[in-house]
A and B are shown apart, each in its own frame.
Chain A
Amino acid sequence: GDSVTQMEGPVTLSEEAFLTINCTYTATGYPSLFWYVQYPGEGLQLLLKATKADDKGSNKGFEATYRKETTSFHLEKGSVQVSDSAVYFCALSYNTGKLIFGQGTTLQVKP
């Protein structure tokens, strides 16, 4: 079946460091891929998405490219801030509304 695997956390970085959170997926078809972020005490928010191979999603300085050949959708940011501390979820969907999530990766950014 379809699944999403993320790198285990927590990931701890200093402010202005480069961020990569790895995400790989297993899919029987051609899903859309998403990154959601959950700030402390809040609900998940869509961070970015890509709907087909080679698409790049970007938002708030974060980027992720849909790589069909490596079945990956790694999240990157060039310079993290303390305010980026949150839990990040990678997910896939076949446009049915049903989201399949990875286990989440906690990011801690220290000043």
Chain B
Amino acid sequence: GAVVSQHPSWVICKSGTSVKIECRSLDFQATTMFWYRQFPKQSLMLMATSNEGSKATYEQGVEKDKFLINHASLTLSTLTVTSAHPEDSSFYICSASPSGSKDETQYFGPGTRLLVL
């Protein structure tokens, strides 16, 4: 149980285009989802906290107009990288915390690798 999927698993796009990444909790509802970014051989850095039905909370230094987050249902959050540039190339990972969970365990998706040419 407690599976989180991401789609696509990898994407290549041209500079200036927008890319949407989906994060789904397959067998549980998640009021809160998280989006992370990971550079090669570096740590996961939290980008934003996504709350169902409300605006996302972005970490300091993360451009909210650049990385649009929508959490329209209890099982789906999307991250859209707008007007992507080569420096946005990275590994994007989402996680979800089951609604009502007391131990705050997060379940992670397998990640989406983005390459912007």
Evaluate contact between A43 and B107: CB separation under 8 angstroms: yes
Chain B residues with Cβ under 8 A from A103's Cβ?
A: 41-43
> Interface of chain B, helix or strand or loop or mixed?
strand
Q: Which of B11-19, B70-78, B82-90, B108-116 contacts A (4 or more CB under 8 A)?
A: B108-116
Chain B residues with Cβ under 8 A from A4's Cβ?
A: 43
Evaluate contact between A97 and B111: CB separation under 8 angstroms: no
Residue A43 contacts which of B34, B49, B104, B111 (CB distance < 8 angstroms)?
A: B111
- Chain B, Cβ-Cβ closest to A104: B43
Known: A41-B110, A44-B108. Is A89-B46 also a contact (CB below 8 A)? no
* Total contacting residues, chain B, CB less than 8 A: 21
Evaluate contact between B110 and A97: CB separation under 8 angstroms: no
Evaluate contact between B108 and A45: CB separation under 8 angstroms: yes
Evaluate contact between A43 and B32: CB separation under 8 angstroms: no
User: Would you call B69 an interface residue if the criterion is a C-beta within 8 Å of the partner chain's C-beta atoms?
Assistant: no
Evaluate contact between A93 and B104: CB separation under 8 angstroms: yes
Known: A43-B4, A44-B93, A102-B43. Is A97-B107 also a contact (CB below 8 A)? no
CA distance A97 to B29 in the complex (A): 16
Chain A residues with Cβ under 8 A from B104's Cβ?
A: 93, 95, 97
- Chain B, Cβ-Cβ closest to A6: B43
Which residues of chain A have a CB within 8 Å of any CB of chain B? 4, 36, 41-46, 89, 93, 95, 97-104
17 contacts between A and B (CB under 8 A): A36-B108, A43-B107, A43-B111, A44-B44, A44-B93, A46-B105, A46-B106, A93-B104, A95-B104, A97-B34, A97-B49, A97-B97, A97-B104, A99-B34, A101-B43, A101-B45, A103-B42
